[in-house]
Amino acid sequence: MAGFLIALASGPEAFAIAQLCVSHPLGQIALFGYSLALFYHACNGIRHLFWDAVIGLSIPAVYKSGQVAIVMALCLTAALWSVIYFVV
């Protein structure tokens, strides 16, 4: 992301190279992986924030929220890439 911002600020030539990198299949795979990691980290992070607020600390609730975090991360990633490939 920092690289993309730097490229945008550096001018059209640098921006074209950055666009080439992120649109290349390898770049797309990297971005897909990054988005999955980001969404999983966000969902599980929110789960931790609930724990910090003393919510959902029973063992069944912990297992349940863990499953919800994984499913949510997968759904958000699928939704993002569906929008990118089929809507935009």
Partner 1 sequence: MNKSRSMQTPLAAVRGLGSAKSGLHHWWNQRMTAVAMVPLVIWMVSLCILMTGASYQDALAIASHPANATVLILFVVVGFWHAILGLQVILEDYVAAEGLRLVLIVVIRMFAIALAALSILSILRVAL
Q: Is 52 in the site for partner 1 (CB under 8 A)?
A: yes
E strands, the chain, are none
Give the list of residues 6+ apart from residue 44 with CB closer than 8 angstroms, or none.
Answer: 66, 69, 73
**Residue 75 CB, nearest approach to partner 1 (Å):** 14
CA triplet 61, 62, 68: central angle to 5 degrees?
A: 85
**Residue 52 CB, nearest approach to partner 1 (Å):** 6
Summarize as ranges the residues that interact with partner 1 (CB under 8 A): 1-2, 5-6, 8-10, 12, 15-16, 23, 35, 38, 42, 45-46, 48-49, 52, 80, 83-84, 88
